[in-house]
């Protein structure tokens, strides 16, 4: 079984599992979609330059090496969550 990301332009719109030899087209796809084999993609990801990128979790986060990074590092003093309105980490 192979996992395929269904892409409309650069946006992953669906992910399907399908068992087929690589030289056969996936059924049901019209010409505006492409299918790319992927174990990581999910709907909401983008696909640019053969790289799947997850959606930006918060507007203030920056993409570095295909990983979204908070503007300040998370503290090491226990579990915390990002608070976008405060632009800081909050201990839970």
Specify the pTM. 0.73
pLDDT along the chain (92 residues), means of 10: 89 86 65 86 94 96 95 93 97 91
Are 75 and 83 within 8 A, CB to CB? no
Are 13 and 47 within 8 A, CB to CB? no
Which of 5, 10, 17 lies closest to 43 in space, CA to CA? 5
- So what's the pLDDT on residue 53? 96
Tokens 């049901």 correspond to: 28
Q: In angstroms, rounded to a whole number, what is the distance separating the alpha carbons of residues 1 and 91?
A: 42
């Amino acid at each position: 079984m192979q996992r395929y990301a269904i892409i409309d332009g650069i946006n992953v719109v669906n992910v399907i599992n399908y068992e087929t030899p690589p030289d056969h087209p996936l059924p049901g796809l019209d010409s505006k979609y492409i299918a790319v084999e992927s174990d990581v993609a999910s709907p909401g990801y983008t696909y640019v330059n053969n790289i799947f990128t997850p959606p930006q979790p918060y507007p203030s986060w920056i993409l570095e090496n295909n990983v979204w990074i908070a503007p300040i590092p998370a503290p090491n003093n226990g579990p915390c969550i990002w608070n976008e309105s405060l632009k800081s980490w909050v201990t839970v």
